A and B are shown apart, each in its own frame.
Chain A
Amino acid sequence: MFARIIPIVIKEFIELKRDKWARFRLIVPTLVQMLLFGYAATYEVYHVSTVVLDLDHSQESRELVSRFTFSNRFDVTVARSQREVTKAIDNSDAAVALVIHAGFAELLRKGQSAPLQVVVDGTNSNTALIALGYVNTIAAGFSQEYATDLAERTLGAQGMRQVHVTLEQRPWFNEDLNGQWFFVPGLIGTLTLVIIVNLTAFAIVREREVGTLEQLMVSPMRPAELILGKTAPFFVIGLGEVALIVTVAVLWFQVPFVGNPLLLLLGSSLFLLSTLALGLLISTLCRTQQQAFSMNFFVLNPFFILSGFSFPISSMPHVLQWLTYINPLRYYLVVIRGTFLKGVGLNVLWPELAAMAFIALVLLGTSILRFRKSLE
């Protein structure tokens, strides 16, 4: 059996070696996409363009504004009138506007509630929400300290005590909430999915188009051997692709890898089996390369969206959440992030690995059956 498989494997590699574009297509888009995703895909909010209108000009109002200026989250510019504030928000020159009305300090000193008006451009709801969170944190800090000061001054040391409960933030696995650590490892899944499905589907469809598939059929090879021989090289390429992305992630983007590499290897192998089977399945449904291309696009996009790669699954409607359970990428991403950032072991990840193995089996079974039929 091996004697018949190996020549096919060698033939595939020779074809790949002769195709100078193939090597280019395997490496360059991967690196370009890694750089793009690594640097452009971020939900982090560091520089909130902020316009401040201080109509009170008091010590208190200046103290409040300086807290924003020195927080290194806000890029503060000063406005002189309400109209300027409105214009800045309208033209998207500022995402946040802070307005302190005249009499702010007086209200504070009297122990009354002084308002800080905040206007947020909600166009990008995500940025707006995060910026609003920062504003609230700074405002709460100011408020709290002012209250303590006031209580001490007016009532003396044993005066009325302020009661306050704070929330300590303890993010695990990614202490600085670095967005790159979230996106870059995820690329291992999305990029290999696209590359391997494309390679497999195109390789088989091309043989069908050129007519060499028939020649292979009349050879003494059995369909299973043909499939194995054709897909084995792509499996190797897939592992190479995974290794490339992991290397760039760890060395260039400095994403920590705290887990067990063998576990990632196991997960990757199972995932690659699914992608190979998917490519094979697509190839049986298409007669021309053009069809394969459109089909790939239609099939791969939902895999990408419904995986949790960039959009949280828990925010999707229930029907879409159920669909994610048949998506191997969903499980692979859990394994990738689990090994990269969380460092969890087999005891945690076995359900994902089992799910991937099951999906791979079902997909491989269907695609082999269909492939044999398409040969006959």
Chain B
Amino acid sequence: MKLRRLKAIAVKEILQVWRDPRSLMIALLLPFTQMFLFGYGVNLDLKHLPVCTFDREGSQLSQALFKHFRASQYFTITRNVKSYPEVVAAIDNADCGFAIVVPPDFSERLNDTGTASVQAIIDGTDDNTANIAFGYAAAVVEGYSNQIAVSWIDRQGKPLQQVQPMVVQSRVWFNEDLESRNFIIPGLVAMIMALVGAQLTSLTIAREWERGTMELLISTPVKPNEVMFGKLIPYLVLGWLDAAFCLAIAALWFGVPYRGTLFALFVTTSLFLIVVLSIGYLMSVLIRSQVGASQIALLVTMLPTTLLSGYIFPIDQMPKVVQDITYLIYSRYYVLIVKNLFLKGSSLAELWTPILFLVVYAAAVMILAARAFRKRLY
């Protein structure tokens, strides 16, 4: 490999990118728009869920319960209905995701037996929202229950005994406020990098074929490896720019805490970029049309990264077979790395396994691409 020839290819590629508005748009506009679209649009935090109340008793106790719900930031009581069909209508129309029904004998039961229950009717179509809403509602009711218990003991004039024998002292590590943004956005950086990187390089070789300049390139003394590295290096620089851009938006605009070292981020991001750029390059070598190559590149980057990288859906909750497949998804390793770097502040030494996987991946794809290129030439 000669440095001079490598440089010549790289310079040619830079000029070509600079003059091609489409590549520039992908490289500069896409990360920007996607960061903001996903950063704001993708949010799993539940706040102000519209709630409908159906108070069949209308007692002080039931009203006190609603007061507790009103005080919670997770719920907003939007309507108080008087009949069951109205509850059905509110849930059917999705006006309310949640309905609290207080039975007519609520106070009586509480007086007689000491226990009573209220019903939470939840729109189960969105199972995740339903699950989280129920968790919050149970906590609200628990708080209410404790308050009633204390006031009862007070009234009975007995010495105030501990109401709650065991208390849960929970602490959340790494993402203390449990904000979904803090785990989605670092993963999002991985997704955008995968997308942009593969898109950019998927065009390079296919373009030469389509424009008929491939024959010219072959007739020069450049070696296949020089073509590959010469074409990858300019995009690596562009990728670094994009990565810096996205990571800066994540940390500075969205305020995701960054706890790792910048050096670790640089090393791992470069590795990941090399993997995705090589994948795009491989597609470009295999498929000689630009449209075809970029479509396939989109398919092999976007879909697995969205679904199988753990960027949003937890891998350890997937069926075993799917979990095994995720080991083949290169983004899985980088998603793990960025999340750990951002939230846990892990060191390079702690992340050696995913890093090793990325290195192996990069080497494998490059060897494949080099082979495929040689085969295509002769």
Q: In the assembled complex, which residues on chain B have CB atoms less than 8 Å from the CB atom of A92?
A: 340
A169 in complex: contacting residue of B47, B120, B127, B343, CB < 8 Å: B120
Complex Cα distance, B340 from A98, in Å, reads 22
B127 in complex: contacting residue of A43, A120, A150, A160, CB < 8 Å: A43
Contact of B149 with A163 in the complex, beta carbons under 8 Å: yes
Stretch at the interface among B135-143, B220-228, B261-269: B135-143
Q: In the assembled complex, which residues on chain A have CB atoms less than 8 Å from the CB atom of B139?
A: 136
The answer to whether the Cβ of B248 comes within 8 Å of any Cβ in the partner chain is no
The answer to whether the Cβ of B130 comes within 8 Å of any Cβ in the partner chain is yes
Residue in chain B with minimal CB distance to A75: B316
Complex Cα distance, B170 from A169, in Å, reads 23
Contact of B48 with A179 in the complex, beta carbons under 8 Å: no
Complex Cα distance, B138 from A92, in Å, reads 28
Q: In the assembled complex, which residues on chain A have CB atoms less than 8 Å from the CB atom of B343?
A: 122-123
Nearest-Cβ distance from residue B192 to partner chain A, whole angstroms: 11
| Given A165-B118, A166-B117, A291-B22, residue A125 in contact with residue B45 (CB < 8 A) | yes
Contact of A167 with B138 in the complex, beta carbons under 8 Å: yes
The answer to whether the Cβ of B115 comes within 8 Å of any Cβ in the partner chain is yes
Residue with the greatest number of chain B CB neighbours at <10 A, chosen from A136, A146, A173, A302: A173
A173 in complex: contacting residue of B30, B124, B137, B294, CB < 8 Å: B124
Contact of A36 with B307 in the complex, beta carbons under 8 Å: yes
Render A277-319 as a binary contact track against B, CB cut-off 8 A, 1 for contact: 0000000000001110110011001100110000110111100
The answer to whether the Cβ of A261 comes within 8 Å of any Cβ in the partner chain is no
B46 in complex: contacting residue of A146, A165, A315, CB < 8 Å: A315
Q: In the assembled complex, which residues on chain B have CB atoms less than 8 Å from the CB atom of A130?
A: 131-132, 135
Contact of B127 with A179 in the complex, beta carbons under 8 Å: yes
Complex Cα distance, B174 from A120, in Å, reads 9
Complex Cα distance, B61 from A163, in Å, reads 13
| Given A315-B46, A342-B125, residue A160 in contact with residue B161 (CB < 8 A) | yes
The answer to whether the Cβ of A42 comes within 8 Å of any Cβ in the partner chain is yes
The answer to whether the Cβ of A46 comes within 8 Å of any Cβ in the partner chain is yes
Count of chain B residues with a beta carbon within 8 Å of a chain A beta carbon: 103
A164 in complex: contacting residue of B120, B130, B134, B149, CB < 8 Å: B149
| Given A143-B166, A334-B94, A348-B92, residue A122 in contact with residue B120 (CB < 8 A) | no
| Given A40-B307, A143-B166, A316-B43, residue A170 in contact with residue B173 (CB < 8 A) | no
Contact of B43 with A181 in the complex, beta carbons under 8 Å: no
A147 in complex: contacting residue of B33, B165, B295, CB < 8 Å: B165
Q: In the assembled complex, which residues on chain B have CB atoms less than 8 Å from the CB atom of A108?
A: 165-166
Nearest-Cβ distance from residue B297 to partner chain A, whole angstroms: 11
The answer to whether the Cβ of A33 comes within 8 Å of any Cβ in the partner chain is yes
The answer to whether the Cβ of B299 comes within 8 Å of any Cβ in the partner chain is yes
The answer to whether the Cβ of A362 comes within 8 Å of any Cβ in the partner chain is no
The answer to whether the Cβ of A254 comes within 8 Å of any Cβ in the partner chain is no
The answer to whether the Cβ of A44 comes within 8 Å of any Cβ in the partner chain is yes
Complex Cα distance, B171 from A115, in Å, reads 12
The answer to whether the Cβ of B241 comes within 8 Å of any Cβ in the partner chain is no
Complex Cα distance, B186 from A89, in Å, reads 19
The answer to whether the Cβ of A217 comes within 8 Å of any Cβ in the partner chain is no
The answer to whether the Cβ of B41 comes within 8 Å of any Cβ in the partner chain is yes
Contact of A305 with B162 in the complex, beta carbons under 8 Å: no
Q: In the assembled complex, which residues on chain A have CB atoms less than 8 Å from the CB atom of B164?
A: 113, 143, 147
| Given A163-B152, A172-B122, residue A118 in contact with residue B116 (CB < 8 A) | no
Q: In the assembled complex, which residues on chain A have CB atoms less than 8 Å from the CB atom of B116?
A: 165-166
A:108-166 near B, CB below 8 Å: 108, 111-130, 132-133, 135-137, 139-140, 142-143, 146-147, 150, 160-166
Stretch at the interface among B4-12, B177-185, B211-219, B369-377: B177-185
Q: In the assembled complex, which residues on chain B have CB atoms less than 8 Å from the CB atom of A13?
A: none
Contact of A163 with B117 in the complex, beta carbons under 8 Å: no
Nearest-Cβ distance from residue A52 to partner chain B, whole angstroms: 14
Residue in chain B with minimal CB distance to A110: B162
Contact of B128 with A120 in the complex, beta carbons under 8 Å: no
Contact of A165 with B41 in the complex, beta carbons under 8 Å: no
Residue with the greatest number of chain A CB neighbours at <10 A, chosen from B48, B123, B156: B123
Complex Cα distance, B132 from A174, in Å, reads 15
Q: In the assembled complex, which residues on chain A have CB atoms less than 8 Å from the CB atom of B294?
A: 290, 293
Q: In the assembled complex, which residues on chain A have CB atoms less than 8 Å from the CB atom of B175?
A: 122-123, 125, 128
Q: In the assembled complex, which residues on chain A have CB atoms less than 8 Å from the CB atom of B290?
A: 290
Contact of B317 with A129 in the complex, beta carbons under 8 Å: no
Residue with the greatest number of chain A CB neighbours at <10 A, chosen from B49, B127, B156, B322: B127
**What 20 additional pairs, Cβ within 8 angstroms, besides A42-B313, A113-B165?**
A40-B307, A42-B318, A44-B128, A115-B166, A120-B172, A133-B134, A160-B161, A165-B65, A167-B138, A170-B121, A171-B134, A182-B125, A290-B290, A291-B22, A302-B41, A305-B42, A311-B42, A315-B44, A334-B94, A341-B124
8 CB < 8 A contacts A-B: A49-B316, A139-B168, A147-B165, A174-B124, A182-B127, A291-B22, A341-B124, A344-B92
Sorted nearest first, the 8 A-B pairs with minimum C-beta distance are: A133-B135, A122-B175, A174-B124, A171-B124, A43-B128, A177-B127, A122-B172, A118-B170
